[in-house]
Structure 1
């Protein structure tokens, strides 16, 4: 499916789709019309915005874990030109949320993702208003030497220096230390409060927090007059389960936006890989353990994608959107950005969602959780 490179083109396509609905999906055979149940909620297009605390962001963001990571994603510095093009295309088409972290990057490239994002913002060829609307959500690692709020504030200032921006959109704790260093946890929370009070970040969030720890930090920040706006967690058809659904319900009750990372299961939900065709490196070892049991889910994704005139990744990402989350699939090429953008502007039906979730429950193995994920 060809992707328009400008918002105006998207608007034209949207208007045309009102007159010719089959433009956005594969035309059904003339002898048997396909009927889809009513949609569950509103469509989202890239230029439409959702609220994360005080921020207005696109209904899908892009993750930048791969920008600087050589071990898992094979980053090389000669990729930078295409990464700039990828960033430009995303912003041109309404995406204004980019997720990163101060730990993203391998070895000497530690922090490279933030540096590249800052460079790409400065070199974006569009107008200033569009550039100013870009929201950076970065995560601060709970390194063992970050033992005081002041050290956490220093980490935030270092991220600002790498990004070369005046204020971070969402400052996030990358993980909780409750599992192994509970005494460090309060210092990290106070660090979030300090960076918010100093105006270094517009909003604060957490990552890899389970329901129990989420309630604790939410209540603590509230007592300090700081709203918790987001919780980032691994959330996909490959990792769905009781804990995932419990956390989503809790976020809804507390007014916290759930940001779903790894919505494609590190690539397992793209349909690109099989046991005989695995990615290189550590991902290949993981994939060979999980892929053999994914046939029901991948088959269901493929059937829905074919009916819809979409691709398997677009269906998997759209499921996350239908569940009320803001997915942040990773991108490292123009091709991936184009494909991911086409996950917006349509919506799975309730029957299709049930079909996918039923197939997901048949998988004997789930995606492994982040080692820092707490209860």
Structure 2
């Protein structure tokens, strides 16, 4: 796989990364050995950019990623995230369905120390603030992360799900290398809220998470019958009732374009995010789907195909909010 420079600070990553969250949480029970095998195969295929977070599990996913790359640390770029609060028994702290976020410098530094330990490394290549804490000035939080860069514990800094205003404030304190947002043919808000414009102006890389629309854009998901009872998509607004039916009709249109090109819908969706100038991090637990996803990095879309995709999946085409109300309340600060 070819590589690309993420942002303008010098971080080189594979053109497509691997989102590791689903190997440990969110989509039902996980299998550690399967996760380790998939991570190893990704490295063999040329993927070097691996994305995790302390919140995934919580903590379990960082431990899995750390275990997978013992003795291989110099071959990978590790990205993780901090910025949520946890209960004493290690669960995500919630207030009326809304996760509690924190940008408090002391908590952030402590969280990074925990991530370093679980990832079995002396330095994190890219640390994101997972969500923005509106009660702590972003300049204060970025100042703490910049201190960790100075101490050699972090190489580069990023933000996840931040507003254009917050991105500009943070970048003025310490250069940001990446901003991570949900971005796909299903979710194009970043094109319209100033975020993509801001990162391009400032020379910040853009990392697209959920480039497959939480599985919709694979074309394989037709209903919820085969989802595990603990799969969070059973509560996701885009998978409910008429939203589900409307979104499946959208997927049908995208599948037709993919079939005309001779590729899978998932590959078409990933290639679109790459051609848009972003680094996607599709997640999967299984080697079969990993190999399909990685092959998308070599697919080039013609102007006519891009125009057809624009017509089939314009901004706002997906029906329903992308998260529950509590999670939506953590976005865009």
Category of TM-score, reference length = shorter chain = 0.7 to 0.9
Question: Any idea what the Cα deviations from partners look like across 1:14-36, whole Å, max 9, x if unmatched?
Answer: xxxxxxxxxxxxxxxxxxxxxxx
Aligned to 1:74: 28
Q: In the alignment, is residue 266 of structure 1 matched against residue 214 of structure 2?
A: yes
1:50 to 1:366, Cα distance in 2 relative to 1, 3 A: farther
3-state DSSP of counterpart to 2:70: helix
Provide the aligned length of Structure 1 versus Structure 2.
308
CA deviation vs aligned residue, 1:52-78 (integer Å, no higher than 9, x gap): 432110011000111321xx21133xx
Partner of 1:357: 310
Aligned residue for 2:92? none
- Identify which of 282, 285, 288 aligns with 2:232: 282
Confirm whether residue 373 of structure 1 aligns to residue 320 of structure 2. no
Instruction: Report the equivalent of 2:91.
Output: none
Q: Shift in Å at residue 319 of structure 1? A: 0.7
Say whether the 8 Å CA contact 1:58–1:96 is kept in structure 2: yes
Q: Aligned partners of 2:221 and 2:307: how far apart in 1?
A: 24
1:275 and 1:112, CA in 2 relative to 1: closer, same or farther beyond 3 A? closer
Find out whether 1:94 has 2:46 as its counterpart. Answer: yes
- TM-fit CA distance, 1:354: 1.9
Q: CA RMSD in A?
A: 2.2
Deviations 1:252-287 (A, max 9, x none): 111000100111111111111224746344313431
Q: 1:200 aligns with which of 125, 131, 153?
A: 153
Measured in 1, the distance between the counterparts of 2:214 and 2:159 equals 21
The one of 323, 337, 340 aligned to 2:276: 323
Whole-Å separation in 1 of the counterparts to 2:103 and 2:169 = 19
After TM superposition, the structure 1 stretch with the greater mean CA deviation from structure 2, 274-283 or 226-235, is 274-283
Instruction: Please state if 1:255 is matched with 2:203.
Output: yes
Does the CA contact (< 8 Å) of 2:178 and 2:205 recur in 1?
A: yes
The alignment status of 1:153 with 2:109, answered yes or no, reads yes
Write the mapping of 1:208-247 to structure 2, written as runs, cut at 5 A. 208-219=161-172, 221=173, 226-241=174-189, 243-244=191-192, 246-247=194-195
Structure with bigger gyration radius: 1
Distance change (3 Å), C-alpha of 1:195 and 1:184: same
Counterpart-to-counterpart distance in 2, 1:269 and 1:244? 21
Question: Is the Cα–Cα contact under 8 Å of residues 149 and 194 in structure 1 kept in the other structure?
Answer: no
Cα distance change, pair 145–49 in 1 and its aligned pair in 2 (3 A): closer
C-alpha separation between the residues in 2 aligned to 1:48 and 1:279?
35
> 46, 49, 59: which one pairs with 2:4?
49
TM-score normalised according to structure 2 size? 0.85
Matched residues in 2 for 1:347 and 1:218: separation? 32
Unpaired stretches in structure 1, ≥5 consecutive residues: 1-45
Q: Secondary structure at the match of 1:66?
A: helix
Following superposition, which runs of at least 4 residues in structure 1 exceed 6 angstroms of deviation? Answer: none
Distance change in 2, residues 1:316/1:244 (3 Å):
farther
SS class of match (2:179):
strand
Which residue number corresponds to residue 36 of structure 1?
Answer: none
Q: Is the 8 A contact 1:62 1:98 kept in 2?
A: yes
**Residue 366 of structure 1: how far off its partner (Å):** 4.8
Relative to structure 1, the CA distance from residue 61 to residue 147 in structure 2 (aligned partners, 3 Å threshold; closer, same or farther) is closer
Residues 1:198 and 1:244: Cα distance change in structure 2 (over 3 Å): farther
**1:141 paired to 2:95:** no
1:165 and 2:128 correspond? no
Looking at structure 2, the residues matched to 135 and 195 of structure 1 have their Cα atoms a distance apart, in angstroms, of: 17
TM-score (normalizing by structure 1): 0.76
Is 1:121 the equivalent of 2:69?
yes
Specify whether residues 50 and 245 from structure 1 end up closer, same or farther in structure 2 by C-alpha distance, changes over 3 A only: farther
- Residues 79 and 128, structure 2, Cα contact 8 Å, conserved in 1: yes
CA distance in 2, matches of 1:87, 1:364: 31
Contiguous gaps of at least 5 residues in structure 2: 86-99
Post-superposition shift, 1:177? 1.4
